[in-house]
Structure 1
Amino acid sequence: MLPELPSAGLRFLAARRGALARLAGWSALEAAHTFALGYALAHALDGGFLAGRTGTGLGWLAAAALAVLAGAYGTGRTYPALAAVVEPLRDALVRRVVARALADGDGAAVSRLTHQVEIARDAFAGLLMVTRSFVFTAAGALTGLFLLAPELLPVVAGPLVLGLALFVATLRVLARRQEAFLVADEEIARALGEVCQGLRDVAAGGAGSRVRSEVGALVDTQRAVAGSLARWSVARIAALTVAGRLPVVLLLVSAPWLLGRGVTPGALVGALAYLTQSLLPALQDLVHGVGTSGARLAVVLRRLTLPAPALPEVGAPPPEEVKGRAGGRHPQGSAPALSFHRLTFAYGPHAAPVVHELTLTVPPGGHLAVVGPSGVGKSTLAGLAAGLLAPGAGSVSLGGAPAHSEAARALRLLIPQEAYVFSGTLAENLAYLRHVPPGEDELADAARAVGMERIVGRLGGFAAPVAPAELSAGERQQIALARAYLSPAPIALLDEATCHLDPAAEARAEHALARRPAVAGDGRGTLVVIAHRAASALRADRILVMDGPHTVCGEHTELLRVSPLYRDLVGGDTGPSDPARDARDPYRVDAVARPRLAGDRGHVVAHGSVREVQAAGDLADGGALGRE
C-alpha cells in the first residue's frame, strides 16, 4: 500500500464525520438487543422462573424480544448511513480513474471502472460493517457482563483483549501475504491468457519447453506464496480461539468459584449467551472480514491511487511555461518534435515485430504522412508516438522528452478514427482541450479553418447544444478536428481522423492543422497523418512507407523510384485512380476490377476494405457508384 494511503483514509473519514456519527447512532440502537439478550435472560431466570414467578420471567423475555425488534430497525437504518460514507469513496475512485485515462490513455481504465472500483467499494463497505458491528456488539456485551456481575468481566475481557492483540500483531503480515497471493494469481492468469491465444505459434515455433518453464515458475511462486499465507493464517485461527472460545472454557471452569462469590446462575447463563450468541459471531466476522476484505481493499486501493496526471480545469490560467499567443501553445524548442530511435515493438514476446529498428526524426513544424497497407502497423506507430504503447526496444521522444512522460503528453494530441463528441454546447466541445476558453471570434476562425461552418449554422451557433447521436460520423470528425486546431499542444497525430470526410474536406482540415501557430511567435504546428488516401501523402513534407523490413521514408519523387509499394499505393505510372496491387505478389494480380472492363461501367473502386471505398468525387470519371 502506498505510504500516504492511511493518512488519506483518515482525511476521507474525517470529512464525513456527520455520516459516521449517524452510522454510530444507529449501530448503538442495533446493539441494544445484544445488551438485552444476556441481561434479560439472567433476570428472567433469577427473578422469574427460578423464583417461581413465571410472569416475571416471561416479561423479561418479552423485553428481550422488543429489543430484538428495535435492533432490527437500527440495522435497517445503518445502510443509508453506510452509503453516505461508501459512495463518496466510489465516486472519488471513479474520478481518479477517468482523470488518468484522459491524461495518458490508460488501457486498463475499463477494467478499473467496472471491476476494481466495485471491489474497493464492496470491500470498504464490508470492512466498515464488520468493524462497527464488533465494536458495538462488544460494548453491549461487556456492559451487560459488568451490570450482571463485575466478577464476570475479567474472565471474559482478559482472553478477548489478548486474542485481539495477537490478531492485530499479525494483520500487516497477513495483508502482505494476501496481496502477494493475489498478485501471483493475476500473473498466472495473464500468462495463461497469452499462452492460450498463441498455442499454435508456440507449437509451430517449438517453444513448448520454454513456455512450460516460464509458466511453471509462476505456478511455483504462487504455491510458495499460498503456503506462506496458509501458515500465517494459523495465527488468525489462534487469535480467534483465544479471544472467542477460551472465555467460554474459563467461564465454565471458574463457575464454582464465581457462584461462591455471589454470582447467580442466571448471570452465568447470561454470560454464556453473551459469549456464544454475540461476541463469538461478531469476532469471527471481524477476523475473517478484516483479514480478507482488508487485504483486497489494500491491493485495489494501491492500484487505483497510483499518481494520476492532473487535468487542467476549464477556465484556469495555463502554467507560466506554456503561455503563448495561440491560447497557450507549448514551445517545442530546438529538439525534434518527434523522434524514433531504433524503435521496435511487437504484440507479445514471441510475436513478429510490427515495428522493427525504426529511426526517424520529425522537426518542429514538420508534416509527415504514414502510408501502407492495412494491418502493417500504422495505428500502432501512432500509439507509440502518443505514449499509449511502450516500445519493446528503442525509444520515442516528443520535444526531447520520453513519449510516456508528463512533458511529452503536454506536447501532443492524438485524434483517432472514431471522434469523441460529448453532450454539451458546441463551444464546450471545441474548447475542451483549452486552458482558457476561446472567444467567439477564435471559435469562428477554427470552424472556418477546418470547414465546419455548415455544422455551426445547422446547429444554431456555438452556444447550441450538441446531441452526439444526431451527428454523422463526418460531422463528429470535423468537431474533433476543430478541437485539435484550438488545442495548445503543438504536435497533432491524426490516426485516420478524416476517413469519414470527402477528399476536399480532408485536404482543408489537414492544411489547417499543418499551418496552425505552434509558439508565441513564428512557426507552425507539427502534423503526423496516418494517411487514409494517397492524396494525404502528396500534401506532406515527407512520407513514411511502412512495409515491414522494406520500410522507407522520403519525399514523393524519391519514393516513386525506390518503393514499389508506394508506387502501387499512389497509382504508379497509370494515374492516381489505378487500384493498388500487392507489391509482393509475383503474379501481379489486380485486387479489384480495373477500369473499362466489362461490367464495371467505367468506375474505379479504391483498394482497401469496404469502409474505405472512396467517395464519388474522388473517382476518375467523377461519377456515382452503382451496385458494384
Structure 2
Amino acid sequence: MSGRGALARVSGQARPFLRARLPDVARLSVWSLLEFAQTFIGGYAVARALDGGFLAGTPTTGLLWLSLAALAVLPAALAARGVFRALADLVEPLRDGLVRRAVTHGIAGALTAPATATTTRSVSRVTHQSEIARDGWAGLVLSLRSFVFTAVGALAGLAVLSPRLLLVAVPPVLVGCGLFLATLAPMAVRQRTYLDTDEAFAAHTGRTASAVRDIAATGGAPTVLDGADRLSREQSRAARSLARWAAVRIIALGICGALPPLLLLLTAPWLLRHGLTTGGLVGAFAYLTQSLAPAVHALLTVLGTAGGRLVVVLDRFTAPGRLPPPPNRHPAYGRPLPTGGAATAELRAVTFGYGPAARTVVDRLDLTLRPGERLAVVGPSGSGKSTLAALLAGVLTPDRGEVRWLGRPLAAPDGPEPGAVRTLLPQRGYVFTGTVRDNLRYLRPEAADRDLVEAADRLGATRLVDRLGGLDATLDPARLSEGERQLLALVRAGLSPAPLLILDEATSQLDPAAEIRAEEALARRPGTLVVIAHRLGSAQRADRVLVLDGGTAVCGPPHDMPRRSALYRDLTGHWAPAPPAADVVPLTGGASTRDRAG
C-alpha cells in the first residue's frame, strides 16, 4: 500500500475525530496564545533594549526591556498546565478507541476464523502499537501547536523589525520543509514494512514459545532458528532502508534550522544599509536561533519519527479488509445463508439448571425454529426466558439434550461458527466509543454506507443518526439514553446476515410504536426471529408463541394460546375454558411439554 493511500485513509477517519473535539482544540489554542506573546516580546524586547537603552546611553531603559522579556516567560510557563490538560482530552480518547478496535477485531477474528487467527498481532496492536499511536499523537499535537504559535510570533516580530528580514528567513524554511515533506510518503512505506516485519517476528516468537516441547521432541530447532534468522534479517533490512531516508531528513532540518541564521549574517551589511538597526539585527538573530529554528526542528523531528509511525500504525487500525468475513456469511443484506432445508435452530429434549442442586429452569424442551419464522417467548420474571435465549444462542450448554444449528449439533467439532449463525441482542444495548458507522457495522464490517442508511431508515433510527451528527460522528455511550442505545443496537442487528436473531427484551426502552416498527423490520429480514417479549403485543404479532412458566412450556399460534394456556389468559386478560389434556400438543414431537394449569 502506498504512503499516500495510508495518509488518505487515516485523514478520512481523523476528520470526524477532530470535529468531535473542536472545543478541546480551541481550549488548547487559547492557552497557546501565551506562547505566541512570549515569542514576540522576546526578540522585540532585545532589539529595543539595545537601540533605545544600552546603545543610546540609557542602561535603565535597556534593563526594563530585558525585564519585560523575562516576565513574558512566566505566563507561558503557567499555561503549561492548561496545555497538558487539553492535550489529554485529545490523546486519551484516541488510545482508548484504538485499543477497543484492536480487541474487537482480535476477538471477532478468533471467533470467525479460529484456525487462522493470529492473536500475537492483536496483542502487539493493543500494547505496542497503540502506545506508539498515543505517544506519536501527543508529540505531534504538542510540536504542531508550538510550531504554529512560535513561528507566527517570530515572523510577526521579524516583520515589525524590518519586512526585509522575511526575505532572509522564509525561503530556506520553505525549501527545507518542502524537502522534508517529500520524504513522508517513502518513509511511510518503509515504516509499514518495518512494522510488518516486527509483527511477523512477534508471531514467530509466539508460536515458538508455545511449541517448545514439540520442537525439541521432533528435532525442529534448526528449522525454527532458520525462520527466526530470516525474519531478523528482513527486519534489519527494513531498519536500514528507514535510516537512509532519515539522512535526507537531516539535510532538510539543516536547511530549515541552520541556514536562516547564516543568511542573516551574510546579508547583515545589506540589511543595515536599508534601515535595520543594530538592535534589530540582534533581535532578528534571537528570533531565528531561539524561537523559529527550535520550533521548526521540533516539528520536523516529530513528523519524521513519531509522525511517520503514527500514520502507519493508525492505518493498521483503520485500513479496510483487515478483518476476514466470517464463514458462511453473504456480504449483501437480504440474502439468507443456505440451510439446505434444515431448521435454523433446534432444541432436542433440552434440560438445564444453574447447578446440580438448583431448580430445573428448562425441562426436556423440544423446539424447532424454521427459516422465516417469528417466535415470541412470554412468561413471568424468572420463568426461564433469558435462559432459553442463551441456550438457543449457544451461550449456555444444556445439562441434557442437544442444541442444533442448521441441522448440525452445536457441540460437534465441525459445527457451525456461532458468529455466522446467530445474533443475540440483550436488554442493555451495547454501544462503544467510536463513530456511528463503526457501531452500526460491528456485526457486518464490510457493510457500505448505503446499507447503513437503509437499515437505519427501516428501523426508524434515521432521526437519531442525524441528531448524533451522521455516520462520521463519534459516539459517547455515556451521553446516550438506554432507548437510544437499544435503537442503535437494533440497527446493527438488522444488518447482521446471521439466520437466527434473538432479541432478549432488546426493545424494552422503546415506546410501543418504535417497538412495532423495529420488530416488523427485523421480521422481514431473511432468517428466524425470536423475541423475548416484555409487551404482549409482540406475542400477538408472532407466528408462534412459547409460554414459559417454571419449567413448563406451551407453544402454539397466538390466536389459539388463550385456549391452550391459563397463564397466557392471565397475562392477556382473556378468558377461555381450559383445554383437555389430550389437546395440549408437543412442541415438535417427542417429549410433550404441557401447560401446568391446563
What does residue 440 of structure 1 align with?
534
Match of 2:498 among 391, 407, 410: 410
Q: Which has the higher contact order (CA 8 A, sep 6+)?
A: 2
| SS of equivalent residue, structure 2 residue 409 | strand
Residue type matched to 1:78 in 2? V
Distance 1:307 1:446 in 2: 42
Match of 1:48 among 45, 53, 56: 53
Distance 1:452 1:57 in 2: 96
Give yes or no for contact 2:28–2:87 (8 Å, CA) kept in 1. Answer: yes
Match of 1:260 among 273, 282, 295: 273
Note the C-alpha offset of 1:143: 1.0
Distance 2:314 2:341 in 1: 39
Residue type matched to 2:59 in 1? T
What does residue 472 of structure 1 align with?
none
Q: Which moved more, 1:115-124 or 1:100-109?
A: 100-109
Give yes or no for contact 1:44–1:58 (8 Å, CA) kept in 2. Answer: yes
Distance 2:547 2:322 in 1: 30
Note the C-alpha offset of 1:111: 6.0
Mapping for residues 52-63 of structure 1, pairs under 5 Å? 52-63=57-68
Q: Which moved more, 1:47-56 or 1:112-121?
A: 112-121
Distance 1:183 1:59 in 2: 58
Output one character per residue of 1:196-253: Cα deviation in whole Å (capped at 9) or x when no partner: 4434433332323322332222122112211111111011101100000111222223
Match of 2:74 among 60, 63, 69: 69
Structure 1 residue 227 and structure 2 residue 240: aligned?
yes
Mapping for residues 507-526 of structure 1, pairs under 5 Å? none
What does residue 334 of structure 1 align with?
340
Relative distance call for 1:450 and 1:278 in structure 2 (3 A) is: farther
Structure 1 residue 217 and structure 2 residue 230: aligned?
yes
| SS of equivalent residue, structure 1 residue 4 | helix
Distance 2:534 2:145 in 1: 56
Residue type matched to 1:253 in 2? L
Match of 1:172 among 177, 185, 188: 185
Mapping for residues 492-507 of structure 1, pairs under 5 Å? none
TM-score in terms of structure 1 length? 0.53
Output one character per residue of 1:410-443: Cα deviation in whole Å (capped at 9) or x when no partner: 24699xxxxxx9xx99979xx9x99697422679
| SS of equivalent residue, structure 1 residue 52 | coil
Note the C-alpha offset of 1:186: 2.3
Residue type matched to 2:548 in 1? R
Relative distance call for 1:91 and 1:182 in structure 2 (3 A) is: closer
Relative distance call for 1:451 and 1:68 in structure 2 (3 A) is: farther
What does residue 279 of structure 1 align with?
292
Note the C-alpha offset of 1:28: 2.1
Give yes or no for contact 1:179–1:295 (8 Å, CA) kept in 2. Answer: no
Distance 1:105 1:31 in 2: 51
Note the C-alpha offset of 1:168: 0.9
Match of 2:87 among 82, 89, 107: 82
Q: Quote the sequence identity (%).
A: 43
Residue type matched to 2:37 in 1? A
Structure 1 residue 192 and structure 2 residue 205: aligned?
yes
Note the C-alpha offset of 1:337: 7.6
Relative distance call for 1:383 and 1:276 in structure 2 (3 A) is: farther
Relative distance call for 1:204 and 1:151 in structure 2 (3 A) is: same
Residue type matched to 1:410 in 2? A
What does residue 29 of structure 1 align with?
34
Distance 2:256 2:191 in 1: 23
Note the C-alpha offset of 1:47: 1.1
Note the C-alpha offset of 1:140: 0.7
Mapping for residues 353-372 of structure 1, pairs under 5 Å? 366=407, 368=409, 370=411
Q: Unmatched 5+ residue regions in structure 1?
A: 311-318, 323-329, 339-361, 372-377, 389-402, 415-420, 454-514, 517-522, 525-537, 540-628
What does residue 431 of structure 2 align with?
none
Alignment size in residue pairs: 388
What does residue 19 of structure 1 align with?
24
Relative distance call for 1:147 and 1:331 in structure 2 (3 A) is: closer
Match of 2:144 among 131, 136, 140: 131
Output one character per residue of 1:264-303: Cα deviation in whole Å (capped at 9) or x when no partner: 2222221222122212221221112112222222223222
Give yes or no for contact 2:333–2:497 (8 Å, CA) kept in 1. Answer: no
Residue type matched to 1:448 in 2? L
Residue type matched to 1:366 in 2? G
Distance 2:66 2:190 in 1: 47
Relative distance call for 1:452 and 1:290 in structure 2 (3 A) is: farther
Give yes or no for contact 2:215–2:221 (8 Å, CA) kept in 1. Answer: yes
Output one character per residue of 1:510-534: Cα deviation in whole Å (capped at 9) or x when no partner: xxxxx99xxxxxx99xxxxxxxxxx
Distance 2:93 2:71 in 1: 35
Mapping for residues 97-496 of structure 1, pairs under 5 Å? 97=102, 100=105, 112=125, 116-307=129-320, 321=334, 333-334=339-340, 366=407, 368=409, 370=411, 410-411=498-499, 438-440=532-534, 448=548, 451=551
Distance 1:5 1:32 in 2: 34
| SS of equivalent residue, structure 1 residue 51 | coil
Relative distance call for 1:447 and 1:70 in structure 2 (3 A) is: farther
Relative distance call for 1:185 and 1:40 in structure 2 (3 A) is: same
Residue type matched to 2:302 in 1? G
Residue type matched to 2:194 in 1? F
Distance 2:154 2:500 in 1: 63
Residue type matched to 1:242 in 2? I
| SS of equivalent residue, structure 1 residue 300 | helix
After superposition, the CA RMSD in angstroms is 4.5
Residue type matched to 1:439 in 2? A
Relative distance call for 1:30 and 1:8 in structure 2 (3 A) is: same
Note the C-alpha offset of 1:41: 0.9
Note the C-alpha offset of 1:46: 1.6
Relative distance call for 1:231 and 1:103 in structure 2 (3 A) is: closer
Note the C-alpha offset of 1:76: 2.9
Q: Unmatched 5+ residue regions in structure 2?
A: 1-5, 112-118, 324-331, 345-402, 422-443, 448-494, 510-514, 524-530, 540-544, 554-585, 592-598
Residue type matched to 2:63 in 1? L
Give yes or no for contact 1:145–1:271 (8 Å, CA) kept in 2. Answer: yes
Note the C-alpha offset of 1:254: 2.6
Distance 1:336 1:4 in 2: 43
Give yes or no for contact 2:92–2:134 (8 Å, CA) kept in 1. Answer: yes
Distance 1:449 1:289 in 2: 66
Distance 1:34 1:405 in 2: 50
Note the C-alpha offset of 1:20: 2.6
Relative distance call for 1:78 and 1:382 in structure 2 (3 A) is: farther
Structure 1 residue 38 and structure 2 residue 79: aligned?
no
Note the C-alpha offset of 1:384: 5.9
Residue type matched to 1:137 in 2? T
Relative distance call for 1:291 and 1:369 in structure 2 (3 A) is: closer
Note the C-alpha offset of 1:4: 3.3
TM-score in terms of structure 2 length? 0.55
Distance 1:439 1:113 in 2: 39
Relative distance call for 1:125 and 1:149 in structure 2 (3 A) is: same
Note the C-alpha offset of 1:120: 2.8
Residue type matched to 2:340 in 1? S
Residue type matched to 1:170 in 2? T
Distance 1:192 1:386 in 2: 29
Distance 2:54 2:45 in 1: 12
| SS of equivalent residue, structure 1 residue 448 | strand
